[in-house]
Amino acid sequence: MLSQAAERYIRLRRIGGFKFDVPSTLVRSFVRFATARGDTHIQTQTVIDWASQSPSPAAREVRLQVIIAFARHCRAEDVVHEVPQPGVFGKGYSRSPIAYIFSPEEIDRLLAGALELTPKASLRPYMFHTLFGLLAATGLRIGEALRLQFEDLTPDGLLIRESKFRKSRLLPLHPTTIQGLQRYIKLRTIIGGNDGHLFVGLDGRRVRSATAQVVFREVATAVGLGAGHYGRRPRLHDLRHTWAVRALESSPREVGQIDRHMRAVTTYLGHAKVASGYWYLHATPFLMKRIADACAAREQEEP
């Protein structure tokens, strides 16, 4: 049965360390679609018809790629399963979007704008003010921040439990960040309800990522950041990119210290490997100039 194969596949991927939330949803959606057609094995035309339900070519190709991986897994045990060819709907996204790097003044405007949210006499403005501030100060992923509970703020730092690749880490916090969280927690304890999560909505339940994204765009537009720079509109995730870039900009110039600095930044961000941190090196003229200067110095050393 396709449904049994799907559950085995999803379980295997999660055992391998992947959260696999979105792909698992897509795999189960496809299986329901195929089963309704009476399919007992993966068929290429069924995959294409299912993927075609997405509104854009890029989204269709993402769907297709997810089921291609699932089909390869199934075919290893039963060759009756067909493996569709990639690229049916185009190449999809060939590169990650260019990050929007906030200036300190823009972050100040964003946090001030969050305090203007309504209802004014509620926890909501202070909650989003603290949430956005925490993301800017720590480079957390939005999902990591929204999963935080009261006990995760420890004397040694912020405990991030089983994040990407099911790894946990402890983040040291700047004293001003700790003070900001403590002020918010006092208010949250009084008027935020009984849910154990730090960041809750007006209904007293944990804020969803989609809600935070919508509110971020609302605030960014209200404070004049909606248009962005050179066609790059700021995203909530760009607060993480900004933290990483500023951390890399502060790197020492000695080779040995750079290596230690990169490892520290990688660990703090929760990346699985150091190479993931190097993606941020292209992000600002400051970093590009340092790279160019280093390359020029190296060339002059060559015999």
Largest alpha-carbon pair distance within the chain? 70
pLDDT at 95 over 60: no
Q: What is the pLDDT of residue 63?
A: 93
pLDDT at 160 over 80: yes
Q: Per-residue confidence at 280, pLDDT binned at 50, 70, 90?
A: low
Q: How many CA atoms lie within 13 A of 46 on its CB side?
A: 22
- Distance (Å, whole) CA 41 – CA 1: 8
Using one digit for the tens of pLDDT, what is the confidence trace for 240-279? 989 988 887 777 766 567 667 777 777 788 866 555 555 5
129 is catalytic: no
14 is catalytic: no
Q: What is the pLDDT of residue 94?
A: 47
pLDDT at 17 over 90: no
230 is catalytic: no
pLDDT at 283 over 80: no
User: pTM here?
Assistant: 0.66
Please provide the average confidence, as pLDDT, over all residues in the chain: 86
Active-site pick, 60, 147, 240, 246: 240
pLDDT at 15 over 90: no
Contacts of 22 (CB under 8 A, 6+ apart): none
Q: Per-residue confidence at 14, pLDDT binned at 50, 70, 90?
A: confident
271 is catalytic: yes
Active-site pick, 14, 164, 232, 290: 164
Using one digit for the tens of pLDDT, what is the confidence trace for 197-208? 999 999 999 999
Active-site pick, 13, 60, 141, 235: 141
- Distance (Å, whole) CA 164 – CA 141: 9
126 is catalytic: no
Which CATH superfamily is 104-222 part of? Intergrase catalytic core (1.10.443.10)
Q: What is the pLDDT of residue 174?
A: 95
Query: Are 282 and 244 in contact, with CB atoms under 8 Å apart?
Result: no
pLDDT at 140 over 80: yes
Q: What is the pLDDT of residue 21?
A: 86
237 is catalytic: yes
Q: Alpha-carbon torsion 44, 50, 52, 58, what sign?
A: negative
More confidently predicted of 86 and 28: 28
Q: According to DSSP H, which parts of the chain are helical?
A: 2-15, 21-36, 44-51, 57-75, 104-114, 124-138, 142-146, 175-191, 209-222, 238-249, 255-269, 285-301
Sheet containing 157-160: which strands, arranged edge to edge?
153-154, 157-160, 169-171
Using one digit for the tens of pLDDT, what is the confidence trace for 57-75? 888 989 999 999 999 999 9
Q: What ranges do the domains of the chain cover?
A: 2-75, 104-222, 238-301
Q: What is the pLDDT of residue 274?
A: 52
Residue type, 42: I
pLDDT at 181 over 70: yes
- Return the residue matching tokens 């935020």: 192
